[in-house]
Amino acid sequence: MHVTRHTDPDAFLAAAAPIATRGEASASFFVGWAHSLKRTPPEADARVYLATCAGVGLCGVAMQRDDGPVIVGQSDPAAAIAFADDLALDWPALQGVVGATVPSEAFVRRWRELTGRGHALRLRLRQHVLRNVAAVPGASGAARVAIPADLHWLIERQNAFIVEVGIPDSPERISRTMGKRVDRGDFWIWDDEIPVAFVGFNDAAPEFARIAPVYTLPDRRGRGYATALVAALSRELLRRGKEKLFLTTDLANPTSNAIYARIGFRPENDDCHFDFVDGDA
């Protein structure tokens, strides 16, 4: 199998199209990210990996940016191995891999052969899709679009979110990108006398949006704020013409999975996130 690295997001989208037949939610990562790169091209020195791999009856898609994990989604195991071979040439410090269990496990086995690094399971994830918003109970307060005056609050809470859920991200990247996203209207806040919750989204793709992150202040949880906020945002995104919405949950968090099920999100497929570690896990 041959790995093709892409610098043109449109060429990547065309080559990655077959992966959509294996699950819309999983494919939305690749489609949404490519459209994001078209909307906001990366800086000249940014690390961006967009790759496809094809063979007789086989296909694979991979993407990775900055210091994050490589996402292989529903790629065939042989393609995942080919991506490992390709990435090990110039990025042996790769943080981890995210995707369906079989290709992710194929990737980590090959990565150990190539680099000597072991792996540890960080998270088991579930991908969800929504087409219609269900009726949900109201909550005290109201939703609104975040404004520049909210920027400091959002950066602090986003940093708290990544620590709490264990997502590999950096305060530097959050500080660098949050202002642009707020200016674009990518965050909503739920106010109940004070800001108590926020939600972000990426609507770069024409037909869908991905919702993330969702965060409620720890001392304000259990009051329905996140449910009401995500439902309000979902209705607005569908009203704007989005055909479907996607989001990812941690399988170990029954609260968030229940919240999204009440709103109308339905599970489509499960993924795992492995970290690479020096020596045995």
At 215, the pLDDT band (50, 70, 90 cuts) reads very high
Of residues 254, 135, 263, 99, the one with CA closest to residue 84: 99
Give the H/E segment covering residue 229.
helix 225-239
Contacts for 135 with CB less than 8 Å, ≥ 6 apart: none
pLDDT at 255: 87
Q: pTM for the full model?
A: 0.93
Cβ atoms of residues 177 and 122 within 8 Å: no
Q: 133: burial class by Cβ within 10 Å (0-12, 13-18, 19+)?
A: buried
- Residue 244's DSSP bridge partners are 208
Of residues 255, 257, 171, the one with CA closest to residue 218: 255
Checking if the pLDDT of 280 tops 80, the result is no
- The residue to which tokens 């900055």 are assigned: 66
Cβ atoms of residues 201 and 209 within 8 Å: yes
For 221-235, b/e burial (b = at least 16 CB within 10 A) is eebbbbbbbbbbbbe
Checking if the pLDDT of 35 tops 80, the result is yes
- Residue 215's DSSP bridge partners are 198
For residue 250, CA distances in Å to 34, 64, 97, 184, 254 come to 24, 20, 16, 27, 8
Checking if the pLDDT of 57 tops 90, the result is no
Handedness of CA 3, 5, 81, 75 (dihedral sign): negative
Q: What is the Cα Rg of the chain in Å?
A: 19
Tokens (6 digits) for 228: 């009401």
pLDDT at 25: 93
Looking at per-residue pLDDT, the higher value among 22 and 280 belongs to 22
Other beta carbons within 10 angstroms of residue 88's beta carbon come to 16
- Cα 156 from Cα 159, distance rounded (Å): 5
Q: What is the DSSP letter of 267?
A: E
Share of the chain above pLDDT 70, in %: 99
User: Residues 155-211: pLDDT tens digits?
Assistant: 999 999 988 887 777 778 888 889 999 999 999 999 999 999 999 999 999 999 999
State whether residue 207 is helix, strand or coil.
Answer: coil
Backbone angles phi, psi at 176, to 5 degrees: -75, -35
Tokens (6 digits) for 238: 């569908």
Over the chain, what is the mean pLDDT? 94
Of residues 92, 116, 96, 93, the one with CA closest to residue 107: 96
